[in-house]
Structure 1
Amino acid sequence: MMNSIPCMIMRGGTSRGPFLRMSDLPSQQEEQAEILLSLMGSGHALQIDGIGGGDPLTSKVAIVERSSHPEADVDYLFAQVDVFNRRVDFNPNCGNMLSAVGPYAIETGLVGPQDGKTIVRVRNLNTQRLIECHVPTPGRQISYEGDTRISGVPGSAAGIQLSFLDIVGTKTGALLPTGKAIDTIRGIPVTCLDAATPILMIAAEDLGLDGKESPAELDGNTALLERLETIRRQAGRYMGLGDVSQGVLPKPVLVSPPRDATSTLNTRYFVPHRCHKAIAVTGAIAVASAVSLPGTIANRIAIDAGRLASGSPLSQIRLEHPSGYIDLDIAHRHGDPHDIARVSLIRTARKIMSGTIFYSSTRDVLTSQVG
């Protein structure tokens, strides 16, 4: 039997997917997951029976609703829908999809537009943290057109500023969940860090890489992917996340010296079993948060590359990734690299379509619940 639900498909940053109202979905997360798997067409490499694009970056769903939180306008639940397996992970946040939450909230009447700019206060249900989305609304109308360009997206669009508040310990409760800047797993030094999202950082050279490899090269290196997964699972246990074999957290990040004189670090970010063609917003925040933190992999490489000197923490950071770069502004309280007040960056978004989407009932769903 075919069912239907109102839907808006939007690009948010370097990701794309359907945006749905929570009120249009069943209350049980397993039932929600069944619908999402059908919508996206998961279980097939091309997701041919749904709207997924056969890639983790285009197999994402944003679920939005009016918030009961006194400091938020809307709630946002992110779902990562597996392309090949019938599995939905509700644990991670996605900052790229978040780029379109503000415009979606205004488009659907959840937030009234202001003249010039509308600040949409978002509570992310995956992490229980707050984000401010600054949406251009000249004449109380959303403007998607502008001259802002972001790496990984063709053309230009209106810039949307995202300010992430209280990012430390979103899943583990600590910036350094193991209590150390460096741990050793299978003979490899790693940094386990939780800021906006849990990650484990590895110096590319410690895996015999130079860090400049393309996503296709890294995805084709089966031995590397298996090694990364082994390290990732152990890191998950060290970070208090338990058995992470069926989830996507923590995300591995390979870090190396920058190629460009204006950049801080070069990165390769995994999602977690394929290399991201750019970098996730939350992953970029985590790496940027580690740059000024003494002893971390990012900190050591930035110092060796002459990008960081002793003294005040670095407030402006540019990270290189396979599609270009991403710029972040970090505000530390009292100059303490452990105390991060907020991280801000610019993204873009676009409404692609609005209408009704159809789905059928599915079974045998694996879900990772929101923690």
Structure 2
Amino acid sequence: MKEQVRVPVTLMRGGTSKAVFLSQHDVPSDPQERLRFLLALFGSPDVRQIDGLGGADILTSKCAIIGPPSRPDADIDYTFVQVGIDQPTLSFEIVCGNISSATGVYALQEKLIPVHEPVTTVRVHNTNTGKILRMAVQCADGEPRVEGDSEVDGVPGTGAEVALDYSDTSGSTTGKLLPTGQARDWVPISKLGREIPVSVVDVGTACVFIRAADLGITGTELPGQLSADIYEMAEEVRRWAVERCDLPSSGFLTPYQILISEAQDYRTIAGDRVVHSSEVDFIARMVLNGGAMHKAFPGGGSVCLSVAAQIAGTIPAEARGTHAGPARIRIGHPSGVLKIYANVEHVGGEEWAVREVHFTRTARRLFDGTAYVRRSRLGMDARDDNAVQAVAVGSTS
């Protein structure tokens, strides 16, 4: 094993995503060393990630770094990393609502906090956003439950419910619920030769909402069914939002690009189910620069969308046909339906306040073991044991 470094890893599923969970102690603190370490661990850049732990999909090329709390109102720190697949990139832009649901389960199983039955509340400090996430984990016999009757469209079977409270995550990315100061803006689209309306809202994760019809599509399309022009126009909107909201130009994920359309019948990505218009408040598709579509729907994006649907004048509220709330918003996505409760209050003028946002997921541990990282990928000589130890064992900043 002289040419490889041993790293303890855990693979967790959270909602419709999977992530490699690492102890903060085992991740380099230096940014460049951390970049080399995580890319080598995941086998990036490579479209198949064949020489690492990455799953060759945006939903499975994810990493959660867990450490002791750095603030007194939290039980653990959680840093989310989106690892590039065919590009040598790491993104720390988002919280990832799906993977966050697994952090409480992981913390309890690792004995980082004590178990209380039948439900343990875990306070998670997400370092990406600086916000506290609260989750209620079902427990029995001294550990988190696995089996239960909670269903998540896009995940086979059922499992024990993990209830997440994102009520305190307004302005996670930009510092404001409505980053532009208004519910609707107009953005020029070069390919269309005209402006289209969009809404930028920031809760959990900043999102920019676009009417699917304004790009010439129905909004019921599934992964692989959109033309390159659609992704290019959506990215043009995202870049506008980045500049308008004064976000770092180096980012490539936020604001999330969400296509919205009115409720209508459509068939899911599995092909075995028709979602009827009566089951949803509207249809949503998350698209990403480079031609990818989320196969279900991001947790952070669902938080933001449920809130946006209760703010008068936004694209989601228009598609829903009302902004009345509080309500359980039903989001139609490629894998089915996601329901999320939100309570948003109008406090005057263009000001709105988020009182509550709750949703549920299922999560479980899939694998514990040892990963082997090639020392050559870490940029050091195989004989330099001290340097290897410094890279393989450290703490994130």
TM-score by length of 1: 0.92
Structure 1: stretches of 5+ with no match in the other structure: 365-369
Specify whether residues 52 and 31 from structure 1 end up closer, same or farther in structure 2 by C-alpha distance, changes over 3 A only. Answer: same
Larger radius of gyration: 2
Instruction: Report the CA distance between 1:315 and its aligned residue.
Output: 2.2
Distance 1:166 1:272 in 2: 29
Distance 1:226 1:363 in 2: 35
Aligned AA (2:123): R
Q: Equivalent residue for 1:117?
A: 119
Q: Does 1:93 align with 2:95?
A: yes
Q: Equivalent residue for 1:26?
A: 28
Q: Does 1:53 align with 2:55?
A: yes
Instruction: Report the CA distance between 1:68 and its aligned residue.
Output: 3.0
The worse-fitting range, judged by mean Cα deviation, of 223-232 and 285-294 is 223-232
Instruction: Report the CA distance between 1:363 and its aligned residue.
Output: 6.7
Specify whether residues 242 and 115 from structure 1 end up closer, same or farther in structure 2 by C-alpha distance, changes over 3 A only. Answer: closer
TM-superposition CA deviations, 1:286-341 (whole Å, max 9, x none): 111111111111111111xxxx26xx523211111000011111134588881112
Q: Equivalent residue for 1:182?
A: 184
Aligned AA (2:363): A
TM-superposition CA deviations, 1:151-174 (whole Å, max 9, x none): 111111111101113121111111
What do you get for the CA RMSD once the two structures are aligned? 1.9
Matches within 5 A, 1:341-360: 341-360=355-374
Distance 1:301 1:133 in 2: 30
TM-superposition CA deviations, 1:172-224 (whole Å, max 9, x none): 11111111211111212111111111111000000001111111202xx1111
Distance 1:10 1:68 in 2: 23
Distance 1:334 1:209 in 2: 32
User: What SS is found at the alignment partner of 1:229?
Assistant: helix
Specify whether residues 338 and 64 from structure 1 end up closer, same or farther in structure 2 by C-alpha distance, changes over 3 A only. Answer: same
1:266 to 279, 283, 288: 283
- Report how many aligned residue pairs link the two structures: 357
Instruction: Report the CA distance between 1:132 and its aligned residue.
Output: 1.0
Instruction: Report the CA distance between 1:93 and its aligned residue.
Output: 1.1
Matches within 5 A, 1:357-368: 357-361=371-375, 362=377
Q: Does 1:191 align with 2:199?
A: yes
TM-superposition CA deviations, 1:69-93 (whole Å, max 9, x none): 1111001000000111000011211
User: What SS is found at the alignment partner of 1:50?
Assistant: coil
Specify whether residues 111 and 272 from structure 1 end up closer, same or farther in structure 2 by C-alpha distance, changes over 3 A only. Answer: farther
Distance 2:278 2:121 in 1: 34
TM-superposition CA deviations, 1:229-251 (whole Å, max 9, x none): 1221111101111425x421111
Distance 1:345 1:94 in 2: 13
2:330 to 318, 323, 330: 318
Matches within 5 A, 1:119-158: 119-158=121-160
C-alpha contact (below 8 Å) 2:23/2:65 kept by paired residues: yes
Q: Does 1:68 align with 2:70?
A: yes
Structure 2: stretches of 5+ with no match in the other structure: 189-194, 265-276, 380-395
Specify whether residues 108 and 157 from structure 1 end up closer, same or farther in structure 2 by C-alpha distance, changes over 3 A only. Answer: same
User: What SS is found at the alignment partner of 1:317?
Assistant: strand
Q: Equivalent residue for 1:367?
A: none
TM-score by length of 2: 0.86
Specify whether residues 15 and 159 from structure 1 end up closer, same or farther in structure 2 by C-alpha distance, changes over 3 A only. Answer: same
Instruction: Report the CA distance between 1:59 and its aligned residue.
Output: 0.2
Distance 1:16 1:195 in 2: 23
Instruction: Report the CA distance between 1:25 and its aligned residue.
Output: 1.5
2:222 to 210, 214, 217: 214
Q: Equivalent residue for 1:228?
A: 234
Specify whether residues 271 and 122 from structure 1 end up closer, same or farther in structure 2 by C-alpha distance, changes over 3 A only. Answer: farther
Q: Does 1:17 align with 2:35?
A: no
TM-superposition CA deviations, 1:97-148 (whole Å, max 9, x none): 1111011101111111112111111010000111111111112222111121
